[in-house]
Amino acid sequence: MCGIIGAVGRDDETLETLVHGLAKLEYRGYDSAGVALTGDGSGVDICKRAGEIDDLRESLETRSPSGAVGIGHTRWSTHGPPNDANAHPHKDCTGDVAVVHNGIIENYQSVRDELTTSGHTFRSDTDTEVVPHLIEEGLANGLDPEAAFREAVGRIEGSYAIAAVIAGEETIFAARNDSPLVLGLDNEIFYLASDVPAFRDFTDQVVYLADGEFARLDDDWTVTDADGTVLDKDVETVEWDPEETGKSGYDHYMLKEIHEQPRALRQCLRGRVDELGGSVDLGDLGDLSPTGVQFVACGTSYHAALYGAQLFEHAGVPAQAFLASEYAASPPPIGDALVIGVTQSGETADTLSALREASRRGARTLAVTNTVGSTAARECDHVFYIRAGPEIGVAATKTFASQQAALNLLTLATAGGDTRSVVPALRDLPGNVQALLDDSRAADIAEIYEDASSYFFIGRGYHYPVALEGALKMKEITYKHAEGFAAGELKHGPLALVTEDTPVFAIVTGDNEMATKTIGNVKEVEARDAPVVAVTDGQSDVERYADHVLRVPETHPRAAAVLANVQLQLVAYHVANRLGRSIDKPRNLAKSVTVE
C-alpha cells in the first residue's frame, strides 16, 4: 500500500534511480506516481501523474526534474480520487517544500482548517498536504529545516512514513509511525524506501527505522529519536539476491512465485527438521508451551491462521483464529495463552493493532512473518520467520504455502503431535509440489470454465481454509465472484446459488469419514447439474461424481492441504490470464495494507 523511494548522492542519476525504485514498488498497489527533486539551485521540481509508472515516464520525457536529492511515491488512494492533483509529492504554498507520505493522518481536517484560516491554499483532497504547509509554517517562524520538519510531524496524529525535501537543502528528512521505512547504505550514497526492493539493486546494507524515529540523509545518515538524541542503529545485510525480485522469464510474478514454492518450502524447513530423528527443533524460540493459542491475521494469512488453529486443536491445545480487525471485540486470552500474529509483511496495520491489544491484555505474542526487521518482528515477544523469500505479486502464493509449513513446524515444536508421520510428509512436500507443478491440468480446467458466472470451493477439516483461500485467489485476480465453504454448509443456504453455470471445486483427499461426507456434498451439487472439479489424491471414489479431476500426490492430510492449494492457485492464475486481467497488480488491492 503506497510506496516511498528517496535517494541522496546519485547526482545526475537521481531521477533515474527514483523511477527505478518506483517500478520496483509497483507490487504494493497504486493508482498514481510522482517524483520531486532539488539540489540544483532552482528550488523543488515536481512531476506527478495519475495512472501507472509508464504514464509518469511519459510525462518525464517532456519535463524532467533535476537535482542530486529526490523523493518519489506511488499512491494508493485513501483521501480523494486518483488524479494528478491528489498524486504525491505534495508541496506548500511557496513550492519550496515537497512531501511524500504513506498512512493516514487522522487529525488532518482540523489541521487543514487551521492552516486555511492562516492563509494557506490547498490544491488536493489528501490528508498528506497538511504536512508541507506545516513545514512551511515552521520555516516562516524562523526554524531551521530539520526543526520545522520535526515540529510538523509533532502536529499530526495517525500512521505515517513521511519523507520531505526542502529547497536549498541537499537533504531528505524522514520519520515513521506505524508504517514501514528502511534506509539503504552504499558508501556515500543513501536511500530511503518503504520496502527493500526499491533499492536492492544498488545495496544490501539496510537500517530499519522503528516507530517514533527520524532520519536525516545528506552526506551521511543519522537516525534520532523524537527528542533528537542520536541512536546507534544496527546495519543489517539483506540475504536475498536482487534477481529474486525479477520475473525470470515468466509472464507474471504470480506464476513465477507459484513455481518457486518448492524452493520456498525447502528454505522454510531447512535446519528446523531432523529427518532421521523425525523431530522438529525451533530452539531459537525457547520453550513456548502454550496452554491456549489465539491467532490474529487478515486475508490469506487469516486462512493460514485457520489452518494453524486446527493443527493446535488436533495437538490438544485449545486454539482460535480471529480476523485481526475484529480482535478488539473478542474474548481475552485465557491463562498462559499465546497470541500469534500471522502477517507476510509484518506491517499489516490490523494485525499489528490486534497484537498490541493482546500485549495490553497481558498475553505473550509471536509473529509468524516473512519480513526480517518488520514492525511485527520487532514488537512481538517472539518471531518465527517463514523464509519464503521476496514475494512481488499482490496475490499471495508462496507465502501461504510457507505459512502452512511453518505452522506445522511451530505446532510440532510447541504442542507435540505425531512427528513420526508428519515430518516425512513435510520433508517430501517440496518434491510433491514440484511433481504437481510439472503435471497440473489447471490450464485445461481454466479454459473450460473461464466464462462461469461464479465459482464455489468446498472442503472439510484442513481443506476448509484451503477452500476459502482458493476462492480468495479467484476473486483477487479474475474479478469474478467466488466463495469458499465448509463442505457441510452448502445445504444450509448456499446450495440455492448452485446452477449448471457454477463450477464447484471439491477438495477430497484420503479415504476416511471426512472424505466420505465431502463426497456426499459433491453428490448434492451434482444433483443440481453443477459441474464438479475434484482436487484429489485418488484414494476415495470422488472421481466417479466429478466432471474433471486435479490430482495431488498421496501424503499426510496436513501436507495434502498445501498441495491442494497449489492446484487452486494455478486455476485462478490461468482463468485470470485467459481473461486478460492485471494479475500482478489487481485493481483496488495492495500488497501490504498499512492502514486499518
The band of 28, judged by pLDDT with boundaries at 50, 70 and 90, is low
Mean pLDDT over each residue of the chain, to the nearest integer: 90
pTM here?
A: 0.80
Would you say how long the chain is, in residues?
Answer: 596
**Tens of pLDDT, residues 32-80:** 888 999 986 668 999 988 888 888 898 898 887 888 899 999 887 776 6
Half-sphere exposure in the Cβ direction for 495 (13 Å, CA): 16
pLDDT at 50: 86
**Tens of pLDDT, residues 445-475:** 999 999 999 999 999 999 999 999 999 999 9
Q: In the chain, pLDDT over 90 holds for what percent of residues?
A: 65
Higher pLDDT, 184 or 331: 184
- Beta-strand pair 221-224/236-237: unpaired
**Radius of gyration (Cα) for the chain, nearest Å?**
25
pLDDT at 400: 97
**Residue 177, H or E segment:** strand 172-177
Q: State the Cα–Cα distance between residues 159 and 74, nearest whole angstrom.
A: 17
Nearest to 3 by CA among 281, 170, 195, 171: 195
Same fold, 3-238 and 244-428: no
pLDDT at 41: 66
Region 219-224: mean pLDDT is 95
Region 313-339: mean pLDDT is 87
CATH of region 440-596: 3.40.50.10490
**Tens of pLDDT, residues 378-399:** 899 999 999 998 888 889 999 9
Higher pLDDT, 140 or 247: 140
**Tens of pLDDT, residues 474-530:** 999 999 999 999 998 888 988 888 888 899 999 999 999 999 999 998 998 888 889
Maximum Cα–Cα distance across the chain: 81
Strand segments, DSSP code E, in 399-473 are 454-459
Could you give the residue ranges of the DSSP H alpha helices within 317-397? 349-360, 375-379
Where b means 16+ CB within 10 Å and e means fewer, 6-29 reads bbbbbeeebbebbbbbbbbbbbbb
The band of 1, judged by pLDDT with boundaries at 50, 70 and 90, is low
Give SS3 for 67: coil
**Tens of pLDDT, residues 187-217:** 889 999 988 889 999 999 999 998 899 999 9
Which residues does residue 32 pair with via DSSP β-bridges, in sequence order?
50, 75
Beta carbons of 328 and 361 less than 8 angstroms apart:
no
Give the other-Cβ count within 10 Å of 418's Cβ.
Answer: 13
DSSP letter at 289 equals -
**Catalytic machinery residues:** 2, 591
Which residues does residue 537 pair with via DSSP β-bridges, in sequence order?
none
Res. 142: pLDDT tops 70: yes
Nearest to 531 by CA among 425, 442, 459, 452: 452
For 3-238, CATH number out of 3.40.50.300, 1.10.10.10, 3.60.20.10, 3.10.20.30 equals 3.60.20.10
Region 272-296: mean pLDDT is 84
Q: Which of 291-300, 488-497, 582-591 is the most confident on average? A: 291-300
CA-based end-to-end distance of the chain: 12
Interaxial angle between packed helices 53-62 and 14-24, expressed in degrees from 0 to 180 and rounded to the nearest 10: 160
- Kindly report the CATH class assigned to 244-428: alpha beta
Res. 417: pLDDT tops 80: no
Distant-in-sequence, close-in-space partners of 127: CB < 8 Å, separation ≥ 6: 78, 79, 101, 104, 105, 108, 158
Beta carbons of 571 and 455 less than 8 angstroms apart:
no
| Domain residue spans of the chain | 3-238, 244-428, 440-596
Q: State the Cα–Cα distance between residues 92 and 84, nearest whole angstrom.
A: 16
Give SS3 for 277: coil
Please report the sign of the dihedral spanned by the C-alpha atoms of residue 176, residue 181, residue 185, residue 189: negative
Phi, psi at residue 448, to the nearest 5°? -70, -40
- Whether omega for the bond prior to residue 89 falls within 30 degrees of 0, making it cis, is yes
Q: Which of 19-28, 122-131, 422-431, 562-571 is the most confident on average? A: 562-571
